[in-house]
Amino acid sequence: MDYNFTNLKVGTLVELELLDLQNKPIKLKTIVEEVLDESSIRIFAPISKGKTFPIRLNQSLDLVTVRKEDSVHRFDILSCRCKVVDKLKDGTLSTLELVRTGEFSQIQRRNYFRLPLIKNIELLHDNKKYDMLTKDLSGNGIKGYVSTKLPAESEGVLFLDVGDSILELKYKVIECNPDPEHSYRYELRASFINIKGAQLSALLKFIFTKQSESIRKQMDLKDYVSILDSDQHYSDFFSMTNMEKLVRISPFFLWCVTFVEYAFFVNAFRETNMGLNLFFGQFTRNFRPELLTQASHLGFVALLLTFISFIFNLSYNHHSKNKIMIHYLLVVILAFVAIGVNVYFNS
């Protein structure tokens, strides 16, 4: 199948199927943080019961996602085998890097789209209207509560508001039993029948969107896009690896070197306790070329340290690098200014 991770987008909802600590199968949903290449992807660590679910390095799992056919109103459910190869923590956010170890294959499982949903909808059953309080919804059926017992195997139509339209979905009652916690209502479980492609597409789009919103809320990503687009997060420095800490604080050390460099640079043109001759009078008066040479030497040191920091930033910083790169660029420009002025006046 011609499908790989580059077909996914940042923010796409995916499901992980793996074994928990007791070797019991578990399904967890999360969202894509970054697509690295055709076989590598970075996802947010899934949340279970309000906490990050523990997943080990080198652990194998199945990743399940969906593909929408552009030519028809249809969603295909796809699955592939993956391995966890890296784990990162940036403040309160944890991410996992997955490498695909198998090809994507199509699976038949509309229950993948199961969504806990509390919503009032209307049923039309035997030409009578009933109100239903939904409990959960999937691409396969619906579960909720009604005030009247509906016979099993009977059929009806429900009206579901999915935002931009109202879907009329035919259903068949699987069971309708008294709710053990509330004697005044019945728990209804029904499956959809004769559902059209366009209806299924709209239904799955609605469920998919709501699931993504729920996952982001669990992760406390209230401003999800800005978090993904931000360059560096310094909120939890001590949760980083040692190399990442070194990368994050490298601009501070570079600016310290640059400060000392320009202390020599400025003093090369200073008149004793009288301010900068560069701006006041003839700056060649009391010119001290040895200080300018020292500033130039520190400029070379700054360039060397910036180059080393640049390599470390590329190797160990797995997040967006723009802000740190701007620091590096400014330090390099100032270093070249000091070196260039020294060459001009001391040549």
266-303 pLDDT tens trace: 888 765 544 444 444 444 456 778 888 888 999 999 99
**Structure tokens belonging to residue 163:** 């935002």
Q: Please indicate, yes or no, whether residues 32 and 79 belong to a single structural domain of this protein.
A: yes
The whole-number average pLDDT for the span 147-164 is 91
* pLDDT tops 60 at residue 143: yes
pLDDT digits (tens, 9 = 90+) for 31-65: 888 899 999 999 988 887 777 888 888 999 999 88
Mean pLDDT of the chain: 80
Final residue of a structural domain among 141, 166, 195: 195
Q: Please indicate, yes or no, whether residues 123 and 182 belong to a single structural domain of this protein.
A: yes
Q: Please indicate, yes or no, whether residues 85 and 131 belong to a single structural domain of this protein.
A: no
- pLDDT value of residue 149: 93
The whole-number average pLDDT for the span 320-333 is 84
Residue 217 domain-assigned (yes or no): no
- pLDDT value of residue 14: 86
Residue 249 domain-assigned (yes or no): yes
The whole-number average pLDDT for the span 315-334 is 80
The whole-number average pLDDT for the span 303-318 is 83
Name, in order, each residue with C-beta under 8 angstroms of 304's C-beta and a sequence gap of 6 or more: none
- pLDDT value of residue 238: 42
* DSSP letter assigned to residue 274: S
Q: Please indicate, yes or no, whether residues 71 and 126 belong to a single structural domain of this protein.
A: no
From residue 73, alpha-carbon distances to 6, 155, 196, 198, 297 in Å are: 22, 25, 9, 5, 67
Q: Please indicate, yes or no, whether residues 138 and 167 belong to a single structural domain of this protein.
A: yes
Residue 214 domain-assigned (yes or no): no
- pLDDT value of residue 62: 92
pLDDT-derived band at 196 (thresholds 50, 70, 90) equals: confident
Q: Please indicate, yes or no, whether residues 81 and 124 belong to a single structural domain of this protein.
A: no
**Which of the residue ranges 102-116, 233-247, 295-309, 310-324 would you say has the lowest mean pLDDT?**
233-247
Q: Provide the domain count of the chain.
A: 3
The whole-number average pLDDT for the span 114-133 is 88
Final residue of a structural domain among 80, 108, 136: 108
Q: Please indicate, yes or no, whether residues 101 and 124 belong to a single structural domain of this protein.
A: no
> Residue-wise over 56-69: b if at least 16 C-beta within 10 A, else e?
eeeeebbbbbbbee
Q: Residue 12 in contact with residue 68, Cβ under 8 Å?
A: no
From residue 31, alpha-carbon distances to 40, 95, 151, 304, 315 in Å are: 14, 10, 40, 40, 25
The length of the chain is: 347
Residue 258 domain-assigned (yes or no): yes
Q: What's the domain range around 251?
A: 237-346
How many CB atoms are located within 10 Å of the residue 186 CB? 18
- Spatial separation of the C-alpha atoms in residues 138 and 192, rounded to whole Å: 9
* pLDDT tops 50 at residue 22: yes
DSSP calls for 167-204? EEEEEEEEEEEEETTEEEEEEEEEEE-S--HHHHHHHH
pLDDT-derived band at 113 (thresholds 50, 70, 90) equals: low
In the chain, % of residues over pLDDT 90: 32
- pLDDT value of residue 216: 61
pLDDT-derived band at 100 (thresholds 50, 70, 90) equals: very high
- pLDDT value of residue 219: 54
Which CATH number fits the domain that encloses residue 149?
2.40.10.220
The whole-number average pLDDT for the span 117-136 is 91
Residue 218 domain-assigned (yes or no): no
Residue 286 domain-assigned (yes or no): yes
Q: Please indicate, yes or no, whether residues 187 and 121 belong to a single structural domain of this protein.
A: yes
311: exposed, middle or buried (C-beta count within 10 Å: 0-12, 13-18, 19+)?
Answer: exposed
Final residue of a structural domain among 165, 195, 225: 195
* pLDDT tops 70 at residue 253: yes
pLDDT digits (tens, 9 = 90+) for 201-251: 788 778 877 776 766 665 554 433 322 233 333 334 444 567 777 777 888
Residue 52 domain-assigned (yes or no): yes
Q: Please indicate, yes or no, whether residues 168 and 248 belong to a single structural domain of this protein.
A: no
